[in-house]
C-alpha cells in the first residue's frame, strides 16, 4: 500500500488546485517539523483507516489529502499528550501551513471524521510500531 493508494478517487472538475499528494506530504511534514515516530504512527492510523473503509468506497479529489492530515493531527496529538507549546501541531497550525487549501472548520471536521473512521483506536505501543516498521522495511529502504 502506498499513500496514494488509500482510496480510489472519482474524477472531478477541481474547484481548487490541489498539490500532488507526495509534494503535499513533504511540505506539511517539513513545515510542521514532524518527527519520524509521529509519521510512523500516522501511517499506522492510515492503515487502520483503510481497513475500516467500505470495500467499494470512492473519495473526492481531496480525500487522500484530508486523510493524511487527519492521521497526522491525531498522531501528533496522541504522542504529545503533554503541555502544548508553539511547536505542537494543532488544527490552527495545519490551517496556516495549508495556506487556505482547507478552512479551519474543514480541518476540525476531517480530524473528527478520521477519528471515527479508525473507531477511536489511537493507541499505538512500541510493539505495534516495531512490527509496522519490520513489515514495511523495504518500503522505508531500511
Has residue 81 got a pLDDT over 90?
no
Burial 14-50 (b: 16+ CB within 10 A, else e): eeeeeeebeebbeebbeebebeeebbbbbbbbbbbbb
- Please give the share of the chain, as a percent, with pLDDT higher than 90: 69
Once rounded to an integer, what is the mean pLDDT over residues 8-14? Answer: 55
**For the chain, what percentages of helix, strand and coil (3-state, to nearest 5) are there?**
55, 0, 40
Extract the C-alpha cell encoding 71: 492521521
pLDDT in tens, 86-95: 667 899 999 9
**Confidence class of residue 37 from pLDDT cuts 50, 70 and 90?**
very high
Share of the chain above pLDDT 70, in %: 83
pTM (2 decimals)? 0.85
**Residues 98-122: tens digit of each pLDDT:** 998 999 999 999 999 999 999 999 9
Q: Is the separation of the CB atoms in 50 and 7 below 8 Å?
A: yes
On the question of pLDDT at 10 being above 60, the answer is no
Which of 13-17, 25-29, 76-80, 81-85 has the highest average model confidence (pLDDT)? 25-29
**Grid cell locating 121:** 483506536
Mean pLDDT, the chain, whole residue set = 87
**Three-state SS at 9:** strand
Amino acid at each position: 500500500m502506498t499513500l496514494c493508494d488509500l482510496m480510489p478517487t472519482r474524477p472531478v472538475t477541481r474547484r481548487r488546485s490541489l498539490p500532488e499528494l507526495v509534494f503535499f506530504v513533504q511540505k506539511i511534514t517539513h513545515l510542521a517539523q514532524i518527527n519520524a515516530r509521529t509519521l510512523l504512527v500516522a501511517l499506522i492510523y492510515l492503515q487502520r483507516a483503510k481497513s475500516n473503509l467500505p470495500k467499494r468506497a470512492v473519495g473526492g479529489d481531496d480525500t487522500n489529502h484530508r486523510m493524511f492530515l487527519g492521521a497526522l493531527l491525531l498522531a501528533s496529538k496522541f504522542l504529545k499528550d503533554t503541555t502544548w507549546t508553539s511547536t505542537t501541531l494543532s488544527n490552527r497550525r495545519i490551517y496556516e501551513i495549508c495556506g487556505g487549501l482547507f478552512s479551519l472548520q474543514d480541518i476540525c471536521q476531517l480530524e473528527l471524521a478520521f477519528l471515527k473512521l479508525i473507531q477511536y483506536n489511537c493507541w499505538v505501543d512500541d510493539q505495534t510500531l516495531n512490527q509496522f516498521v519490520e513489515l514495511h522495511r523495504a518500503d522505508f529502504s531500511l
